[in-house]
Amino acid sequence: MQLTNNTIFITGGTSGIGRGLAEAFHKLGNLVIIGGRRKHLLDEVTRANPGMHAVELDIADPDSIRRAAATLVETWPTLNVLINNAGIMPFDDAAGSIDDATALATIGTNLLGPIRMSSALIAHLKAQPRATIVNNTSVLAYVPLANTAVYSATKAALHSYTLSQRFMLRDTSVTVQEIAPPWVNTDLVHKSDDPRAMPLDAFIAQTMQALASGREEALVDIAVPMRNNAGPDEHALVNAFNAQVAANPIPVAP
Residue 47 is part of a domain; what is its CATH number?
3.40.50.720
Q: Which range has the worst mean pLDDT, 58-62, 76-80, 172-176, 222-226?
A: 222-226
Q: Which range has the worst mean pLDDT, 17-26, 109-118, 163-172, 203-212?
A: 163-172
Q: Choose between 200 and 230: higher pLDDT.
A: 200
Q: Return the number of other C-beta atoms located less than 10 Å from residue 76's C-beta.
A: 16
Type of residue numbered 133: I
First to last CA, the chain: 40
d(CA 164, CA 61): 23
d(CA 32, CA 21): 10
Determine, yes or no, domain membership for 254: no
Residue 186: the pLDDT is 87
Q: Which range has the worst mean pLDDT, 17-26, 116-125, 216-225?
A: 216-225
Q: Is 151 a catalytic residue?
A: yes
What phi and psi, each to the nearest 5 degrees, are found at residue 82? -115, 125
> Does the pLDDT of residue 253 top 70, yes or no?
no
Determine, yes or no, domain membership for 113: yes
Edge-to-edge, what's the strand order for the sheet holding 7-11? 53-56, 31-36, 7-11, 81-84, 131-136, 174-179
C-alpha dist (Å) from residue 194 to 50, 145, 202, 213: 32, 17, 15, 30
Q: Which of 142, 151, 183, 241 is catalytic?
A: 151
Q: Return the number of other C-beta atoms located less than 10 Å from residue 74's C-beta.
A: 8
Determine, yes or no, domain membership for 123: yes
Beta bridge mates, 9: 33, 82
Of the pLDDT bands very low, low, confident and very high (cuts 50, 70, 90), residue 230 is low
Residue 235: the pLDDT is 60
Q: Output the pTM of the full model.
A: 0.90
Instruction: Provide the residue range defining the domain that includes 99.
Output: 7-247
Determine, yes or no, domain membership for 125: yes
Determine, yes or no, domain membership for 253: no
pLDDT (tens digit, 9 = 90+) per residue, 87-110? 999 999 999 999 999 999 999 999
**Structural domains counted in the chain:** 1
Type of residue numbered 184: V
C-alpha dist (Å) from residue 167 to 52, 67, 124, 159, 214: 32, 28, 18, 13, 16
Determine, yes or no, domain membership for 2: no
In 3D space, the residue among 87, 59, 69 whose CA is nearest the CA of residue 33 turns out to be 69
